[in-house]
């Protein structure tokens, strides 16, 4: 019987799942995804995590517990330090395997390789190959798994750039949403925006209100880079760089009517990045911003009211 690898449907799942899936499947492992987020999953995470942890980390722990309860053989909890030169993920990703190990009881084996492009590129590749050989020792298999992962990821990212959100691309959606004159950017962590439970289905709500949603994943890397050009010092966080770059680029391009900025309560980087984006927009005051801070108690009703009011305001602005 093949080994079952559990993958939490949280955090970097929204960024790299296609690569992970191709990697493990090439090696003959069975992937088990945690269930879609429910209140129960979130509550479990909240119970296990330290109080001050950010919402996404709490949720991650809930998904790990969900996988444990499904009886998987191991759970993939990589330590992703850096995915590009000179940039890092936030400290919680650096200590994620430990947060899991010490907060969730009775976890099965954790697959915790380190991905660190900035400081230890070669070592990271080695760790991937070593991880692969744990599943399939036949010569060439590990390399084949890496190639498969890379091509799956490339395909995924080009799909995102075509205008699909991560959630849609992951669900294999083929049909694009209708475009609209009312283009609204929604910027924030992919793991918040694409989890309908956590974001209270923000994308869906905006579309119902007649808006076309633009996210940072839909932009080309060079567009993001252009957006960060005006910074005196580039952001050293990959996600912060993306958010800042997308925000500035869309503002300068003048193609959006409004921007919804979604921060996580307790998120370190967000506390600074969102502040800067908001300030930039305020200085220009051409595009209105709605700032939403998601926490454990974000209620659907309150959010809908705020979104409706925001979209109404955008429409009036267009009318006059």
Partner 1 sequence: MKVTYPHLGSMSVAMHGLFTDLGLDVIPPPPITKKTINLGVMHAPEFACFPLKINMGNFIEALEAGADTIVMAGGTGPCRFGYYAQVQREILRDMGYDFKMIVLEPPQGQLSGLIGELKELCGENRWPTTVNAVHTMWRKIKAMDKLHARLLQLRPRELEQGAITTAYKKGVALLATAHTPKDVNRLYSRALTLLNSVPCNYEKSVLRLGLVGEIYMLLEPYANLQVEKLLGEMGVEVERSIYISHWIREHLILSSLHIKGSRATKNAAAPYLNHFVGGHGWESIGDTVRYAHRGYDGVIHILPFTCTPEIVAQSILPTVSRQEGIPILSFSLDEQSGEAGFRTRLEAFLDLLQQRKTKQRFGT
Which chain residues interact with ligand SF4 by CB under 6 A?
54, 56-57, 90, 92, 189, 264, 267-270
Q: Which two tokens stand for residue 224?
A: 């993001």
Q: Write the CB contacts of 174 (distance below 8 Å, at least 6 apart in sequence).
A: none
Q: What's the rounded Cα separation, in Å, for the pair 9 and 244?
A: 26
Structural contact between residues 47 and 61, judged by C-beta atoms closer than 8 angstroms: no
Residue number with CB closer to ligand SF4 (16 or 24): 16
Q: What's the rounded Cα separation, in Å, for the pair 82 and 148?
A: 21
- Considering the rule CB under 8 A, would residue 53 count as an interface residue with partner 1? yes
User: How many residues are there in the chain?
Assistant: 320
Q: What's the rounded Cα separation, in Å, for the pair 112 and 86?
A: 22
- Considering the rule CB under 8 A, would residue 90 count as an interface residue with partner 1? yes
> How many residues sit in the footprint of partner 1 (CB under 8 A)?
43
Report the partner that residue 95 touches, choosing among partner 1, ligand SF4, none (CB closer than 5 to 8 A by kind): partner 1
176 class by beta-carbon count within 10 Å (0-12 exposed, 13-18 middle, 19+ buried): exposed
Residue 132 Cα distances to 76, 120, 127, 135, 318, angstroms: 12, 18, 9, 6, 55
DSSP three-state, residue 82: strand
- Considering the rule CB under 8 A, would residue 108 count as an interface residue with partner 1? no
Among 201, 226, 265, 288, binds partner 1 (CB under 8 A): 265
- Considering the rule CB under 8 A, would residue 29 count as an interface residue with partner 1? no
- Considering the rule CB under 8 A, would residue 127 count as an interface residue with partner 1? no
- Considering the rule CB under 8 A, would residue 279 count as an interface residue with partner 1? yes
Query: Taking contact as CB under 8 A, which single stretch among the options 9-17, 68-76, 173-181, 228-236 is the one that binds partner 1?
Result: 228-236
- Considering the rule CB under 8 A, would residue 275 count as an interface residue with partner 1? yes
How near is the Cβ of 278 to partner 1 at its closest, in Å? 9
- Considering the rule CB under 8 A, would residue 8 count as an interface residue with partner 1? no
Positions that interact with partner 1 (CB under 8 A): 49-50, 52-54, 79, 81, 86-92, 94-95, 98-99, 102-103, 114, 119, 231-233, 235-237, 263, 265-272, 274-276, 279, 283, 293
């Amino acid at each position: 019987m093949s080994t079952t690898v559990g993958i939490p449907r949280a955090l970097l799942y929204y960024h790299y799942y296609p690569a992970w899936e191709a990697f493990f499947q090439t090696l003959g492992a069975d992937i088990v995804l945690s269930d879609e987020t429910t209140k129960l999953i979130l509550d479990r995470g909240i119970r296990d995590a330290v109080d001050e942890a950010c919402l996404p980390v709490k949720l991650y722990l809930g998904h790990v517990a969900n996988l444990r309860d499904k009886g998987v053989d191991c759970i993939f909890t990589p330590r992703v330090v850096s995915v590009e030169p000179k940039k890092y993920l936030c400290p919680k990703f650096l200590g994620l395997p430990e947060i899991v190990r010490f907060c969730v009881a009775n976890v099965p084996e954790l697959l915790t390789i380190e991905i660190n492009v900035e400081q230890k590129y070669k070592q990271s590749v080695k760790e991937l190959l070593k991880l692969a050989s744990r599943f399939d020792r036949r010569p060439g298999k590990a390399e084949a798994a890496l190639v498969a992962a890379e091509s799956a990821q490339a395909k995924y990212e080009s799909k995102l750039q075509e205008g699909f959100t991560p959630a849609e691309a992951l669900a294999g959606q083929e049909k694009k949403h209708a475009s609209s004159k009312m283009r609204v950017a929604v910027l924030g962590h992919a793991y918040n925006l694409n989890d309908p439970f956590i974001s209270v289905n923000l994308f869906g709500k905006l579309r119902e209100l007649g808006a076309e949603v633009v996210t940072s994943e839909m932009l080309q890397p060079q567009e993001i880079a252009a957006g960060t050009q005006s910074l005196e010092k580039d952001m050293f966080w990959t996600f912060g760089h993306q958010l800042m770059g997308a925000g500035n680029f869309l503002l300068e391009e003048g193609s959006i009517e409004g921007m919804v900025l979604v921060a996580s309560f307790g998120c370190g980087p967000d506390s600074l990045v969102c502040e800067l984006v908001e300030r930039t927009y305020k200085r220009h005051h051409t595009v209105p911003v709605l700032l939403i801070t998601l926490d454990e108690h974000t209620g659907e009703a309150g959010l809908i009211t705020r979104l409706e009011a925001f979209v109404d305001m955008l429409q009036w602005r267009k009318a006059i």
